[in-house]
Each structure stands twice: as structure tokens, then as C-alpha cells.
Amino acid sequence: MHAWMHEHSASSHFLENVKENILTNGLQAISEEDKNNLLNDSSVQVLVYFSPFIPLEFLAPERVYGDDREEEIKEIIMAENESSWHLFLRAENGTLLSSALQLDETFRENLSLAQGLYYTQLPNSFSLDLTGDCEKQLGEQIEKETDIYKDPAAEENAEEINNGLSEEEKEGDSPEENEENEENELTNEEEDSVVEVAEVVEEVEEVEEEEEEDIREDETPEHIWEIETKGNLFVPEEELEGVEIVLEKEDIPIAELVQAFFFDPSMARRIEERDEALFFTDGERGLRIYPNGLVEYAAPMLERGLSTISYSSALNKGAESQSLYGGWQDGSYLVESNITEKGYRFRWSPVFNGFPLDGENSGSEMLVNEQGVPFYSRYFFIVRNNKESSPFKPYAEALCEALSLNKDQFEDQKATLLSLRPVMYVVSEENKRAVPAWKVVFEETEVIYLHWRSLEELS
């Protein structure tokens, strides 16, 4: 399966076109079978994958889809079928929705603008020989996985061939063969004897196969790895270019921050701490401002009990809070969302050339529930660039290197891959710079960052 990763600024116009189209043509549920039938006959297919997901409420007005709009849309599929287009929305919970699609000139233009790098989906499971050409191995397995989705015409041809067989051929042996079989029929006693011998032989063969399998497992070379993926993981098909960037700390007046976090700033007591950080509290909430510019806010009273807030409500409240607590940094977008017992946790980050700034204390993070925002941290940089770009090492090489550098943390050369994506890694706050990197996340390890050219591990 192929997809493209959109440029954040252009994708907003594309989504507006999707919303207008749904408003005009409506939206209804569709079965997986009906969707596949339409896709099988289509000449062009475009898949747009979203991470984090988009609330359906943002795309479908209430009068179009009713009150039940809590679905989280993870992908949009557009397909052309006999000069007409179809739009499919797939939700994270499996719900599939459909609408007729009208691609006018504006829609086509925004679709072209939003289109960025082409990405391909990793197989659900694959193997790698760390001593071989990882890029070639993984490429062959992705190609093999793609070949599974064959043209339905192949199945129709097979069915026609089968239907063309004579009834005699379908039923089995010819009359001559039947006569020969009758002459060679065994007595009941002979048949029972043969069956008993066959069962013994089968049991012996099963034992031998199990022993051989155990031997093969014991002899599996240490450089052969089995990897499973969780969720839909997409990797770039094209060569990526990266460049180091210079970072400048944002400067927000302290009085402005205190005014934003406290209803009555005059009630907030100011405390100067030993590490030169400033701490403000009114007894219910606390605001800490570090010398390096890091801002942390906590309101424990708002974190009590389990949260049942919806994704769309949390996202709206989070966006409002981001605007209030220091404002929006230019070029910043939502890059991560997770649901917890206490509410939704969101992370916003500056995005440079399509790659989010990553690393410790980069961007902003918040916890949102029905009561408000129990936790918020903020550490934004202003991005400057005055260097030339150079190519990334291939993602397959980065994956193999991550396994090699951390092989002691795995068992039996098996790994579960959660994420593999390019980012801008904040090397150090003191040097005020960020470098392109591969971010590799396994279920069995901590997050791994690898330098985009040398694949050295960054920390």
C-alpha cells in the first residue's frame, strides 16, 4: 500500500475541500466489500494517512452525519472509477464512510500542493540479515507484500478455466481407470492394516519434523532478526534531504505567563529557587519558569478521577489552551496524541521541511480532560537555517543499525517496531542546534535517535 505524507500548511486547504465536498454530497456508511469492489475497478487511487487522527466532527457537520461523530479518521482514500471519483474515510475503530467526490480545479490544485513525499507501508512482519544489504532485503519483502494485491481478473480467469473442465474430469477418474482400480481393491482387513502402518509412519514423521524444527531454531544465526510492526507504519520511498538548523529560544515576558495561568495574578506567590528558576503558586496550581526558558505548569486538583472526554472536545480545548498559554509558534503543528486514564495528552512541535522538532523538552505538551489542563510544558525554539542539505541514510539501514546497537535489549532476535520516522533532533540546549535524525521506537527499548548521515546514536 502506498501513501503520501502531506505538508502541514497546504493540507489544511485540502481538508477544507474535503469538508465542502462532504457538505455537498453527504456521507454514509459503506461495507468493506463494497469499498473493495469500487477500488478494484478504479484506475487511480490516492491514500492520505493522518497521524495524529482527525476527528470526524471536524470534517462532517452535524446535519450531514448526525450526532454520532466521535469517530477518529485515520485515512482518506480517493479513487477514480469510470470518470467519477469516490471518497472513503476510514476511522480508527474500523468504521468506513463514503461520499461521491467532485474534483474541481481548486481541489486538484490543493491536492497537488498538499502532496509531499511518497511513502510506502511496511509489512506486518519481515526478517532482516544484519550482515547483508538491509535496504535490498526490506525492499524485496515490501515488493512481495505488494504483489499479494492482485488484479481480480486473475481469479476470474482461473474460475473460467475450472468451469471449462468436463464433468468427467471434475468428478475424477475415467472409466478405464475405474476398472483398473476395481481390480486392485484391497480387502477390508488389508485396508485396516495399511491404515495402522500409515498412522505409525505419520507419528514418526511428526516427531522427526519437530526435532528438526527445534534444531533449526537452535541454529538460527544471531544476525537474522524477525521484526513485527504494530499499526500502519509508513516509510519514505524517495531519498530524503536533511540539514542542520540553528535554534533560538523564544522570549515570552514572565508577567504575561503569570497573567495567562492565574485568574488573579496578585494571589500568586513568587519564589526564587536554588537553580535560579522562578516558581509561582496560589496554593492550587504552580508555574515554574526555568532560566533556559522551559515553562512547566501543574494543577493537580484538575487531575482527579477518570476522564471520559471525547477526542474532538479535548483537541478543541487543547488548541484554545495553546493559544492562551504563550500563544502559537509559527510553523507548529500537532505531532502526537495519546489517550490516558486522566485524559488526552497532546504534543505540538515546530515542523521544519516536513520534519517535526524532537527530543527532550521540545515544543509543548499538555494533558487535557473535562476539568481543564492539569499539566502543561512549553519549550519552543525559533528555527534558523544557513546550511546546505545532504541526503539521509536509507531507513532500512537505520533500522538495522538500531537493532545492532541495542541487541542486548531483545530476546531471540525478535523485535516489535512501533515507529520509524525522520525528525529534527535537538542535540543540546546549550549548542542551540538540531540535526536531522531517524527516530526508531521498539516496544522493547527506549526511543532511539540516529544521526541522519553517520547513523551514530544521539543522546
Question: Considering 51, 84, 116, which residue would you say is the last residue of a domain?
Answer: 116
In a domain, 166, yes or no: no
Neighbour count for residue 387 (Cβ, 10 Å): 11
Contact assessment for residue 130 and residue 225, using Cβ atoms and an 8 Å cutoff: yes
Q: What is the CATH number of the domain that holds 254?
A: 3.30.310.160
Can you give the pLDDT at residue 24? 87
- Same domain (yes/no): 216, 252: no
- Distance from C-alpha of 299 to C-alpha of 308, rounded to nearest angstrom: 19
- Same domain (yes/no): 232, 359: no
In a domain, 50, yes or no: yes
Q: What is the CATH number of the domain that holds 419?
A: 2.40.128
Can you give the pLDDT at residue 288? 97
Q: How far is CA 345 from the centre of its chain?
A: 17
Can you give the pLDDT at residue 6? 45
List the chain pLDDT tens, one digit each, 459 residues: 444 444 444 466 778 888 888 888 888 889 999 988 888 888 777 888 888 898 888 888 776 665 555 788 988 888 887 778 889 999 888 889 998 887 767 766 666 545 556 778 899 999 999 999 999 999 999 888 754 433 333 344 434 434 443 444 434 455 455 555 554 544 555 555 545 555 555 665 665 566 555 544 545 577 899 999 998 788 888 889 999 998 888 889 999 999 999 989 999 999 999 999 999 999 999 999 999 889 999 999 998 889 999 999 999 999 999 999 999 988 888 999 999 999 999 999 988 888 889 987 789 999 999 999 999 999 998 888 767 889 999 999 999 999 999 999 998 899 999 999 999 999 876 668 899 999 999 999 999 999 999 999 997
The total of structural domains in the chain comes to 3
- Same domain (yes/no): 261, 341: yes
In a domain, 154, yes or no: no
Can you give the pLDDT at residue 208? 58
- Same domain (yes/no): 23, 76: yes
At position 222, the amino acid (one-letter code) is: E
In a domain, 319, yes or no: yes
- Same domain (yes/no): 375, 424: no
In a domain, 127, yes or no: no
- The owner of cell 488573579 is 264
- Same domain (yes/no): 111, 205: no
Can you give the pLDDT at residue 371? 94
Domain extent, residue 452, equals 193-241+387-459
In order of 32, 225, 419, the CA distances from 361 in angstroms are 42, 33, 20
- Same domain (yes/no): 351, 414: no
Question: Considering 101, 116, 131, which residue would you say is the last residue of a domain?
Answer: 116
At position 187, the amino acid (one-letter code) is: T
Can you give the pLDDT at residue 46? 80
Can you give the pLDDT at residue 164? 44
The string over 298-313, giving b where at least 16 C-beta atoms fall within 10 Å of a residue's C-beta and e elsewhere, is bbeebbeeebebebbb
- Distance from C-alpha of 369 to C-alpha of 306, rounded to nearest angstrom: 9
- Same domain (yes/no): 360, 397: no
Question: Considering 325, 352, 383, which residue would you say is the last residue of a domain?
Answer: 383
Q: How far is CA 107 from the centre of its chain?
A: 26
- Same domain (yes/no): 372, 392: no
In a domain, 169, yes or no: no
- Distance from C-alpha of 439 to C-alpha of 361, rounded to nearest angstrom: 16
3-state class of 125 per DSSP? strand
